[in-house]
Every structure is written in C-alpha cells, then in structure tokens.
Amino acid sequence: MSGKPRLTYLNGRGRMESIRWLLAAAGVEFEEVYLETKEQYDKLIKDGFLLFQQVPLVEIDGMKMVQTRAIMSYIAGKYNLYGKDLKERALIDMYVEGISDLMQMILVFPFSPPDAKEKNIESIKERATNRYFPVFEKVLKQHGQDFLVGNKFSWADVQLTEAILAVEEKVPAVLSGFPQLQVFKTKMSNMPTIKKFLQPGSPRKPPPDAHYVETVLKIFK
C-alpha cells in the first residue's frame, strides 16, 4: 500500500464525496479507484476487501475501512478536526449527523422517479430552510466565531460547507435568509485547502448525472 489513502467507489459523488471533502480539507492527498463494472465489484467482495460487501472503501494506515461514518471519524480524529475534548466532539457529532440527514435527501434524489423530482426539491428546500440552516445560523450568530465549534476549524465546518453548496445546486437562493451562513460559506471557501478543492481539476466530483445513476443500478442491482 502506498502512503496515500486509496478510495474505491464509483466515479461520482454518492457517499464517498464527504470523505473526499474531508481529506481535501485536511490537505491529505489520496488515490482513487473507480468501480465501473459489476465484475470489478464482485471481485472486490471475493477478495475480501469489503467487510459488509459495500463501498465506500478507504484503504488507510493498513486498514481496509468501510462504513462512511467510521471512515470520517477516523480521518477527523487523525487530522485534528474533531475538537479538543469529549464535549467538543459531541457538538461536532451532533452537527455532522444533522447535516448528514439533510445530505441523505440529496443522495437519494437522482434515484427518484422523474415525476417526483420537483416535490423532492421542495422537500430539500423546506428541510434546509426550516430545520437545518436555522440551527447553524443561530450557532454562528450566538458565539460570533468563524467556526462552528471551539473557535477552530473542524469536520463540522467542512460538512456544512459541502451541504450548503450541494443544496445551492438544487435551490440557488437558499441562503437568502441566512446572512451568517453566507459569510461562513465565503470564509470556508477561501481556506486554502478548500479553495484548492473547489477549483477545476480537483478530485471533487460533479453533480450526479444519468450515466452515474445507470452505473449504480448496473453494479448494485
């Protein structure tokens, strides 16, 4: 195994995208292997790479890690993006889990039938603006700091930035009622590692298209 983490997933966002964001934000270079056929996937299972027969898979520090949350917790812990103590970790976990619930709606969106798409965008908009964004707007307003937890850059900031951009792709003016989040988005986007990740040519993947959906259905049917 080379020194760099190696990511195995489809050539698209899905559940691996948050991991790409976190590694990039931490300034960690990584390699990627793209699943394109069912045969590749079956071989991975046969060769014992996938603990629960699922991807994402991240080979890191001699481990074959699966389970998105486990992988991200490990990366956050390793690269000091998990707060300074148990209580800060608890806050980060709460924020990340909440954002993850919002991201779940976006994750499944490409797989919904065409006649449900408009309704689903409305649901995403409703949840973002009534349940999730107000929480983080308030957190930032109350402590007046640049970062969500402990006045220090953490996993929670990365996850929220990713979520804001993902929702904006569906609902462009979604931040219009959230001035703190607008400032937050700008600040995070200008952090050197994140800025680099947001530039063309980075490992960041584009929004899922028909080809991506087709590949998922073909490999995991």
Partner 1 sequence: MSSKPKLYYFDGRGKMESIRWLLAAAGVEFEEEFLETRDQYEKLLQGRSLLFQQVPMVEIDGMRMVQTRAILSYIAAKYNLYGKDLKERALIDMYVGGTDDLMGFILVFPFLSAEDKEKQHAVIVQKATSRYFPVYEKVLKDHGQDFLVGNNFSWADVHLLEAILMVEEKKSDVLSGFPKLQAFKARISSIPTIKKFLEPGSQRKPVPDDKYVETVRRVLHMYYDVKAN
Residue 8, both tokens: 């195995």
Position 63 contacts partner 1 (CB under 8 A): yes
Give the residue, chosen from 66, 140, 156, 188, that forms a contact with partner 1 under the rule CB under 8 A: 66
**Nearest residue (CB) to partner 1, 158 versus 194:** 158
The sheet that has 63-66: what strands, in order across it?
Answer: 31-34, 6-9, 57-60, 63-66
**Nearest residue (CB) to partner 1, 26 versus 198:** 26
Give the residue, chosen from 131, 141, 195, 218, that forms a contact with partner 1 under the rule CB under 8 A: 131
Distance in angstroms (rounded) separating the CA atoms of residues 135 and 4: 36
Share of the chain residues as helix, strand and coil, in percent rounded to the nearest 5: 60, 10, 30
In angstroms, the first-to-last Cα distance of the chain is 30
Position 116 contacts partner 1 (CB under 8 A): no
Position 93 contacts partner 1 (CB under 8 A): yes
Give the residue, chosen from 86, 115, 142, 144, that forms a contact with partner 1 under the rule CB under 8 A: 86
Cβ–Cβ under 8 Å, residues 7 and 30: yes
Position 73 contacts partner 1 (CB under 8 A): yes
Rounded to the nearest whole angstrom, what is the least distance from the CB of residue 199 to partner 1 in the complex? 31
Rounded to the nearest whole angstrom, what is the least distance from the CB of residue 171 to partner 1 in the complex? 19
Rounded to the nearest whole angstrom, what is the least distance from the CB of residue 131 to partner 1 in the complex? 6
Give the residue, chosen from 31, 36, 42, 97, that forms a contact with partner 1 under the rule CB under 8 A: 97
Distance in angstroms (rounded) separating the CA atoms of residues 43 and 156: 35
Position 108 contacts partner 1 (CB under 8 A): no
Position 51 contacts partner 1 (CB under 8 A): yes
Contacts of partner 1 in 182-211 (CB under 8 A): none
Give the residue, chosen from 31, 39, 77, 176, that forms a contact with partner 1 under the rule CB under 8 A: 77
Position 129 contacts partner 1 (CB under 8 A): no
Position 143 contacts partner 1 (CB under 8 A): no
Cβ-based neighbours of 97, under 8 Å, separated by 6 or more: none
Distance in angstroms (rounded) separating the CA atoms of residues 94 and 70: 15
Residue 143, both tokens: 């402590």
How far apart, in Å, are the Cα atoms of 136 and each of 105, 176, 178?
A: 18, 14, 9
Beta strands, E only, 41-121: 57-60, 63-66
Query: Which positions lie near partner 1, rule CB under 8 A?
Result: 51-53, 61, 63, 65-70, 73-74, 77-78, 86-87, 89-90, 93-94, 96-98, 101, 131-132, 135
